[in-house]
Amino acid sequence: MNAPHPKILLVDDDPSILKILSDLMASFGYESATARSGFDAIEKLEQDFFNIVLTDMVMHGMDGMELLKYIHSNYPDIKVIITTGYDRTFSYTDVIRAGASDFISKPFNSDELEAKINRLVREIELMHQLELLSISDVLTGLYNRRYFDTKILEEVQRAHRQNHDLFLAMLDVDNLKDINDKYGHPAGDKLLQSVGVTIEHCIRENVDWPFRYGGDEFCVILTQVSQDQALMTTERFIQSFDEKKMPLTGLSIGLARFIRSKEKKWSEDIADLVRRADIAMYKAKETGRNRVVVDQKNDKRQAE
């Protein structure tokens, strides 16, 4: 969940200016790429991710104002700094109103440019931290239930589009109430944190998605896996957690495969997935706890 290191796109139709800017970005400690025109910049934006665009105002073909408006409409999270000469046609107010984050005149001072970029980087990092706070569970550091509702739709649609299987694992921490009663809530909190660490260590970063679903329940979206691979991952949760040798507890897990029904809404199929994983989880608890039960509906029925 760490913020990506900032990457800057430099746009100018003068190769010598681009070389100077590239060298300056390197001296500031930032990764950068270059574009020789507004059209070239649009291609670069489609191919790669950038946090900041530094663009000249006066360029052949597409000027900086047109590029700014395009970025503002299509990539609203990208910060844009406009550079222009003293004979500028547009004022500071013009470019800020059009969506620019800042403005610097040529010939620019390197200290001023570095200060402006550093300010935008701090803003980006702050926004990233605020976003993480809004989607994270404070106790475990995993994603929260609210983000699950957003992410599950995104992931099932991607899996369906790419013809990949997706599984949902629902995990319940066995005997949490007994542990809270016997050892106190701080011990229960420590147990929940330990479950969160266990889950994160057993999954693929930025491929699988872990959540604290609520109370003593967790869930994990497992993408691009077969049923055997998903089962091995959930069994690894239990094995890794058992190695911690925490008394009175374990993990009861239900595993279900997403099934797309063409006559139903996405939300209905997602609700069905959660329900089946939840039922399988309760079967795991009923049949001895600290085990995985696979939903029996995990067949290969899928709408064309």
pLDDT above 90 for 268: yes
CA distance 303 to 286: 33
- 2.60.40.10, 3.90.950.10, 1.10.10.10, 3.30.70.270: CATH of 145-294: 3.30.70.270
For this structure, is 216 an active site residue?
A: yes
pLDDT in tens, 48-75: 999 999 999 888 889 898 999 999 999 9
pLDDT at 303: 39
All CATH 3.30.70.270 domain ranges of the chain, comma separated, are 145-294
pLDDT above 60 for 299: no
Do the strands 166-173 and 217-223 form a parallel or antiparallel pair, or are they unpaired? antiparallel
- DSSP 8-state assignment for residue 3: P
Cβ–Cβ < 8 Å for 34, 22:
yes
pLDDT in tens, 213-266: 999 999 999 999 999 999 999 999 999 999 998 888 999 999 999 999 989 999
Out of 216, 269, 278, 295, the active site residue is 216
pLDDT at 84: 82
Name every residue whose Cβ is closer than 8 Å to that of residue 262 and which is 6 or more positions away in sequence: 303, 304
pLDDT at 247: 84
Q: Read off the pLDDT band of 302 (50, 70, 90).
A: very low
> Mean pLDDT in the chain?
91
All CATH 3.40.50.2300 domain ranges of the chain, comma separated, are 7-135
Top CATH class, 7-135:
alpha beta
Can you read off the two tokens belonging to residue 81? 């700094």
pLDDT at 300: 47
pTM of the model: 0.69
